[in-house]
């Protein structure tokens, strides 16, 4: 199955089956401004630090809703600033990320980060790709960002930023699990950039810290940022 987000902003988009053209889901986040996926490492660390510090203003609360093809609300994510304070999936309420992701089992490696979900799927985050693995570590889903579909083939957009995001599911995912998979995708996308850059600067190219390396100070800052990031995943309120 190949799903296409019809707008560049995946948090405000219709999701269609690329083969049939049928609407599968719709994502709506009123009041959310689309953000660039590209930021420098220094601005990234500043953002991470500011998220855990006291602020003089009250963070904005907003809600991301995942609708089904019949416009029934299937799931919701409530945000206060960048923090997830509540998740609803069907009739089930969850108090933030920690009940949806197995944060204690996140693996931070030099070239990839593995984030397990409660459904025993694992999101594999790399510098230029995002994959969904099953409990046998087989790839069952792949993200194709900034792409176009021509003659049933996915290709990078000729001009950067003009393509759309596609989710290609290469393995069978039960229909009753698909809404939660989409929900975890949205959450991972929100954390992805931070997870990748923190991992790169904590581990370095060789997967280890070196005290005489000129990037050591930046990596120590990244280590603190990773602690903040894990708090973000585990945050209960």
Q: Give pLDDT tens digits for 122-167.
A: 999 987 889 999 988 899 999 999 999 998 899 999 998 889 999 9
Q: Residue 93: in which H helix or E strand, if any?
A: strand 92-94
Token code pair at residue 180:
């939660």
- The confidence score (pLDDT) of residue 231 equals 55
**Rounded CA separation 125/111 (Å):** 9
Class of residue 206 by CB neighbours under 10 A (exposed 0-12, middle 13-18, buried 19+): exposed
> 């009739």: which residue's tokens?
91
179 vs 5, 13, 27, 74, 163, CA distance in Å?
A: 14, 15, 11, 7, 24
**Rounded CA separation 237/221 (Å):** 25
Confidence of residue 196 (pLDDT cuts 50, 70, 90): low
Quick: pLDDT tens for 99-126.
Answer: 888 878 888 887 888 999 999 899 999 8
Summarize the chain as % helix, strand, coil (round to 5).
Answer: 25, 35, 40
Q: What is the pTM of this model?
A: 0.77
Closest-CA residue to 89 (of 186, 26, 177, 174): 177
Is the separation of the CB atoms in 177 and 140 below 8 Å?
Answer: no
């Amino acid at each position: 199955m190949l799903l296409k987000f019809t707008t560049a902003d995946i948090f405000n988009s219709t999701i269609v089956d690329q083969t049939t053209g049928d609407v599968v889901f719709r994502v709506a986040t009123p009041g959310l401004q689309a953000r660039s996926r590209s930021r420098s490492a220094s601005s990234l660390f500043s953002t991470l630090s500011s998220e855990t510090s006291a602020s003089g203003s009250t963070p904005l609360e907003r809600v991301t809703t995942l609708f089904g093809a019949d416009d029934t609300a299937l799931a919701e994510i409530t945000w206060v600033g960048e923090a997830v304070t509540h998740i609803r999936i069907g009739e089930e309420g969850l108090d933030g990320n920690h009940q949806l992701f197995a944060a204690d089992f996140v693996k931070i490696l030099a070239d990839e980060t593995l984030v397990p979900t409660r459904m025993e799927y694992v999101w594999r985050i790399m510098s230029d790709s995002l994959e969904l693995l099953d409990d046998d570590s087989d790839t069952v889903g792949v993200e194709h960002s900034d792409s176009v579909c021509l003659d049933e083939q996915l290709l990078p957009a000729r001009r950067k930023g003009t393509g759309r995001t596609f989710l290609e599911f290469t393995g069978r995912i039960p229909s009753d699990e698909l809404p939660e998979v989409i929900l975890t995708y949205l959450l991972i996308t929100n954390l992805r950039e931070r997870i990748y850059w923190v991992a790169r600067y904590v581990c370095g190219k060789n997967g280890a810290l070196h005290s005489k390396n000129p990037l050591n100070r930046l990596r120590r800052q990244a280590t603190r940022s990773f602690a903040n990031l894990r708090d973000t995943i585990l945050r209960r309120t």
